[in-house]
Structures are given as C-alpha cells and as structure tokens.
Amino acid sequence: MNNKQALNPYLPSWEYVPDAEPHIVNGRVYIYGSHDLFNGLNFCLGDYVCWSAPVDDLGSWTYHGCIYRREQDPAAPRIRLTNGLAAPDMVVGPDGKYYLYYFMGGTKMISVAVCDEPAGKYEFYGYVKYKDGTPIGKRGEPFQFDPGCLMDEDGRLYLYTGFAFGGNPILLDGSTPTRHGPMFFELDPGDMLTVISGDDLKYIGVLTSDEAKGTPYERQPFGEASSMRKFNGKYYFIYSSLNSHNLCWAVSDRPDGGFEYGGILVSCGDIGLPGVPDVKHARMCTGNTHGSLIEIGGQYYVFYHRHSNRKQSSRQACAERIRFEDGRFYQAEMTSCGLNGGPLSGKGVYPSYIACNVYGRSGTRFLSMIKHPKGADPFLTQRGGDREEGDDQYISNFCTGCTVGFKYFDLSETTAVTVRLQGYGNGCAVTVRTDEHGQPVCRIPVETALQEKAFTGSLPKGLGSKEALYFSVEGKGGTFDFNSFELS
C-alpha cells in the first residue's frame, strides 16, 4: 500500500467535522462527529457526514457522504439555526447493526438512528426512554447533551450525557445544567433504547462547578462532551472541562462511578504545556473542543478539533499521537503531523492551513460566535462559500510581527524553502526559524505580489530529522495571504 502522509487537519480543508468519535470497524477508522458549515452562524448546522481511513494508512480518508439528515427525526424543530444536530456517538449492537446516538437542539431528548453499515444511510430508530416510555430529558432532568456510549465486553450497554455550562440560554432551552457532573444510564441491549438502571438519576463522580472545589477536579471540572473508552480493563472517561479549550480524562475500575481525575489530553491552544500557562499565551485562537481516544496498532491517539475563520463555529477535525504509560495519558502537543506516525517529509509542497501555531503581536483569544475583527493577527480562512470541493483554506493577514508554526519535519536533507504569498510588502522579508524564539535559519526577501508569487531562500545544512518551522514577517507594513510552502 502506498501510504499518503497524514496531515492536521486530517480531512480536506473544506470539511468542518468537530466533536469526532473515532471507532474501528473491519480495519477502518470511522469518524462520527457533528458538522459545522464554513462561516456558519451557529454550531452543528450541517447534517451528519462520515469519513473513514484504513488503520494502516491514516492519510487516506474516504468521504461516505451524508449518513443522516436532521429532518429524519420526527421531533426536529422547524428552525434549524439554534437546533442543529450536535455531537453523536456510535455503538454496534448485539444484532450487528450500527446505532447512532445523538442530541438535537430543541428536543431535550437523546435520539437514536440505526443502519446495517457503519457509514450507510441511517434511519430514525427511537428515543432513549425509561421503562414507562418517557424519553429521558422529559422529566425535568438536567440538560441531556453530547451522548457518549460504551458496549462493554460483557454485553452491557452504557450511555453518558450532560452539560454544565450555565450561561447558554439558547442551547439550554429552558433546561437546567447539571450540577453533579455527567449522568449515567445503563440501557437494555435488547432494544438499545430502554433504561434498565432505574428511574433515579445516577452520576459517575466527574465533578463540576462548586462540587469540584478542593478536589483534583477543581482546575478542570466537567463541562460537556462525554465519551467513554476502555483500555487494559480500566474505564477512561473523556470530557471537555469548563475551561472549554481542554479535553480531559478520568479513570475508574468500573463504568458507573469511582472516577479519579487524570489530567489534560489535549488543548486546542496547547495551554498547559511548558511556556503556555493560560489562554492569553495560547499558540492558536481557542474555543471549545471535544473528542475521544483510540488505540491503533499499539499506539494511542487523541481526536479533537481546532477553530478557524475568527469564530467558534468553523471547527476542523485534528488528531495527535498521545503518550500512554502505566495507565496514564500525558498531554499531547498540537502538530501538523498528528496521525502521520512521525515527522513529515522534508521534500514537497505543503498547504499553509496545516499550521498548528498561529498568532500575532497581540497573541490569541478565546473566540466567540461573533466573528472577531481582523485586526493585526493572522487567521485561517477559505475562499468561496461552504462546499464539498477545493482544498484552498489558507492563512490570511500574514503580517508583520506574526508567527505561523508547523510541527514537525525531517529537514536532514532539506536545503531550500519556498513560500507562496499574495499581498503587500515591499522591503519586507519572511524569516524562518526552527526554534520558536530562536535566531532565523533563513531570511527570504519578499515584495508586493498582486497574484500569488513564489519566494525562495536557502536552509543551512545539518538541520535535524524532527524540526519545527516558524514563519514570520519582518519589515514595515507587510500583509500577505500565505497559501503554501515548499521544501526541497
């Protein structure tokens, strides 16, 4: 098999699939997530789509198209803008069918769709319900949201839901956020819908809000994005903390409680890694993040999403290899080569949108649903409207004083770098560093280019087999669209 290099984001630049839950079926990794639209006014406005890749070729993703439309749910509200299809999860039933658990805004329920294939056309199946037929969420429970599922080896089926953010009146739709962390339901695997763990709400002990004070959860209390995985006989609960930009984990010997806080899996701004103490120092503009863990061939990966287009609702799927030792996960770093299994080649053309660090003189910010003004900072965007074609996302406002970073490349045989720019900048130069705060290893004079133009500089011999590349603009008034670069 001729494996392609795997880049981050791992899907085409026109695709916006956040909240990814990865699952392996018959030697392929399938991604189940919500679906943003480029420049969408709100989260999750698209119908569900599915992508998959062979486990031994994580750079070759296949698009399976739309697998489920919002209008298939009988309870779908007429207005889509505030009632999109939120983060789903998939589980294989005892009957061999594929069950998609999801939440739709405006319903307060957890819905289920079913299909005979992992990425086929799903059909509406029903609502998760108590034994008397009442759907969960219809008894005044805390807000049901972002379902996560686990079918254990013993055939028992578990569902986890919850939402702890109190300041979202549109999303909450009159419901109350959970004060006690994620909720737990055991479901009947016979019908995949009926709660058999009783009518009383049960919580697994991943704490939120005031309950977390004075505990290991205090700095990263539960916010949303429930996901459950099992490794080496232990249960790992993955969640987005109330800080929103951090994906965290907790661990227990059982699926229904006793969870102890573990740590951060990944931050969509590298917050928590050395030199990045808080959101003000983030290496990319932040927002919420959501995802899960998977083991492939003895390696572990964390799936999450990043933000683009100067707002929260144009989110893209990313993944990183993550260190897992003695039952513990250690925070992964955002990279451009997440699923690649190692550094990218030091030869070839790379699109600028695979940057994992993007910030300007004023640093970064936690994005909102309202598009932030351009200002003097670089940002990821694309040409044209939302569509399923055209790998042309790029970095706009690549300007004096900014930094755009890519990790990692094997530069041991690389002697030159070419940047392809369009914009204004007579008398300016693009500097290239391998250390974020080090001295430049290359300085490329550039000039105003009304159409895309290539500018080339030489790299010194003796660079390493795992190097970062940081590009900056120096000189007065330089402002470009940074489209791509080539290593040769």
In the block, residue with structure tokens 């990814």: 20
Q: What is the pLDDT of residue 401?
A: 92
pLDDT reading at 362 higher than 90:
no
Q: Examine the domain organization and report whether 483 and 446 are in the same domain.
A: yes
CA distances from 395 to 14, 253, 382, 392 (A): 14, 45, 8, 10
Work out the number of other CB atoms within 10 angstroms of the CB of residue 305. 26
Model confidence at 1, pLDDT cuts 50, 70, 90, reads very low
**pLDDT, tens only, 99-116:** 999 999 999 999 999 999
What residues does 101 pair with on adjacent strands? 89, 112
Phi–psi pair at 145, nearest 5 degrees: -160, 150
Q: Examine the domain organization and report whether 323 and 289 are in the same domain.
A: yes
* The token pair that represents 262 in the structure block: 């573990």
pLDDT reading at 195 higher than 80:
yes
Contact 6, 58 (CB under 8 A): yes
Q: Is residue 336 situated within a structural domain?
A: no
Tell whether omega for the bond before 16 is within 30 degrees of 0, i.e. cis: no
Contact 71, 139 (CB under 8 A): no
Phi–psi pair at 385, nearest 5 degrees: -90, -170
**pLDDT, tens only, 444-475:** 999 999 999 999 999 999 999 999 999 999 99
Q: What percent of the chain has pLDDT over 70?
A: 98
pLDDT reading at 138 higher than 90:
yes
Q: Is residue 4 situated within a structural domain?
A: no
In angstroms, the CA 41 to CA 184 distance is: 32
Model confidence at 391, pLDDT cuts 50, 70, 90, reads low
pLDDT reading at 378 higher than 70:
yes
Q: Examine the domain organization and report whether 391 and 448 are in the same domain.
A: yes
Q: Which of 411, 434, 394, 431 is nearest to 347 (CA)?
A: 411
439, amino acid identity? Q
Give the pLDDT mean for 170-189. 90
Coil, helix or strand at residue 140? coil
Domain around 28:
21-330
Q: What is the pLDDT of residue 212?
A: 96
Pairing of strands 442-446, 48-54: unpaired
Q: Is residue 1 situated within a structural domain?
A: no
* The token pair that represents 292 in the structure block: 């899960």
In angstroms, the CA 153 to CA 347 distance is: 45
Q: Is the dihedral of CA 275, 281, 287, 288 positive or negative?
A: positive
Active-site option among 21, 36, 73, 224: 224
Q: Examine the domain organization and report whether 325 and 356 are in the same domain.
A: no
pLDDT reading at 392 higher than 90:
no
Q: Examine the domain organization and report whether 273 and 353 are in the same domain.
A: no
Q: Which of 257, 233, 241, 108 is nearest to 183 (CA)?
A: 257
Q: Examine the domain organization and report whether 209 and 97 are in the same domain.
A: yes
Q: Is residue 14 situated within a structural domain?
A: no
Tell whether omega for the bond before 10 is within 30 degrees of 0, i.e. cis: no
Q: Examine the domain organization and report whether 398 and 270 are in the same domain.
A: no
Contact 225, 170 (CB under 8 A): no
Q: Is 19 a catalytic residue?
A: yes
Q: Examine the domain organization and report whether 86 and 159 are in the same domain.
A: yes
Residue where a domain stops, chosen among 279, 301, 330: 330
In the block, residue with structure tokens 């062979």: 54
Residue where a domain stops, chosen among 330, 356, 389: 330
Q: Examine the domain organization and report whether 319 and 359 are in the same domain.
A: no
Q: What is the pLDDT of residue 383?
A: 87
78, amino acid identity? R
pLDDT reading at 387 higher than 90:
no
Q: Is residue 41 situated within a structural domain?
A: yes
Q: Is residue 9 situated within a structural domain?
A: no
**Helix ranges (DSSP H) in 277-397:** none
In the block, residue with structure tokens 């055991």: 186
Contact 8, 335 (CB under 8 A): yes
pLDDT reading at 233 higher than 90:
yes
DSSP 6: P
Contact 302, 234 (CB under 8 A): no
In the block, residue with structure tokens 């330089």: 478
In angstroms, the CA 380 to CA 358 distance is: 8
Enclosing H/E stretch for 52: strand 48-54
CATH number of the domain that residue 405 is part of:
2.60.120.260
DSSP 478: -
Q: Examine the domain organization and report whether 370 and 323 are in the same domain.
A: no
Give the pLDDT mean for 181-190. 98
Of residues 384 and 199, the one with the higher pLDDT is 199
Rounded to 5°, angle at Cα 295 from 115 and 316: 70
In angstroms, the CA 448 to CA 465 distance is: 34
CATH number of the domain that residue 83 is part of:
2.115.10.20
Coil, helix or strand at residue 71? helix
Coil, helix or strand at residue 486? strand
Q: Is residue 181 situated within a structural domain?
A: yes
Q: Is residue 117 situated within a structural domain?
A: yes
What b/e readout covers 12-40, taking b as 16+ CB neighbours within 10 angstroms?
A: bbbbbbbbbbbbeeeebbbbbbbbbbbbb
Q: Examine the domain organization and report whether 286 and 408 are in the same domain.
A: no
Q: Examine the domain organization and report whether 156 and 285 are in the same domain.
A: yes
Query: What is the number of structural domains in the chain?
Result: 2
**pLDDT, tens only, 249-288:** 999 999 999 999 999 999 999 999 999 999 989 999 999 9
Q: What is the pLDDT of residue 174?
A: 79
Q: What is the pLDDT of residue 168?
A: 73
Residue where a domain stops, chosen among 268, 297, 330: 330
Give the pLDDT mean for 426-438. 96
